[in-house]
Amino acid sequence: MLEKVWYSDGLKFSCTKCGNCCRGPGYVWVNDDEIHTLAQHFEMDDETFTKVYTRKVGRSRTLREQANDNCVFFDDSVGCLVYESRPTQCRTWPFWEHNLESKQSWDKVKDRCPGSGKGQLYSVEEITARLHEMKQK
């Protein structure tokens, strides 16, 4: 039985591919499994991919950035160049714990992510699955 949450009727989200979440400073954390998936996408070995496309921050790894701070895989005309292989962090957005703390926090997400609150309805079960995926990462 799921605990009652404020979004028990589900939440809407359909990515508009605006790129707001891929532009500018920020970390896109990748673990070994995600590095492997991305390396396969480029038919590279994991070690080469790690060297070319990631950098270390403390004990973790993030995708590298372009000179303008955009994610290394963001292309202005195409969007995400690795969409099918994108990391968990990108696949589970915007259903992250702090975004779902309250209706107010969800409303703030809508300000920077125009796809949030519109389009496809995600059930509470689907949202919870994404929350768990992020927690287990």
Q: Choose the binding region for ligand SF4 from 1-9, 42-50, 73-81, 123-131 (rule: CB under 6 A).
A: 73-81
Q: Residue 3 or residue 118: which is nearer to ligand SF4 going by CB?
A: 118
3-class DSSP state for residue 57?
strand
Q: Residue 17 or residue 132: which is nearer to ligand SF4 going by CB?
A: 17
Q: How far is the CB of 34 from ligand SF4 (least distance, A)?
A: 10
The contacts of residue 130 (CB under 8 Å, 6+ apart) are: 91, 92, 95
**19 part of the interface to ligand SF4, by CB under 6 A:** yes
| Chain centre distance of CA 77 | 19
Closest by CA to 16, choosing from 90, 115, 85, is 115
Q: Residue 1 or residue 41: which is nearer to ligand SF4 going by CB?
A: 41
**117 part of the interface to ligand SF4, by CB under 6 A:** no
Q: Which tokens in the block code for residue 10?
A: 């589900």
Q: Pick from 15, 35, 39, 100 the residue near ligand SF4 by CB under 6 A.
A: 15
**11 part of the interface to ligand SF4, by CB under 6 A:** no
3-class DSSP state for residue 109?
helix
Closest by CA to 11, choosing from 100, 88, 89, is 100
Counted residue by residue, the chain has a size of 137
Q: How far is the CB of 13 from ligand SF4 (least distance, A)?
A: 8
The site for ligand SF4 (CB under 6 A) is made up of 15-22, 28, 63, 71, 73-74, 80, 82, 86-87, 90, 93, 113-115
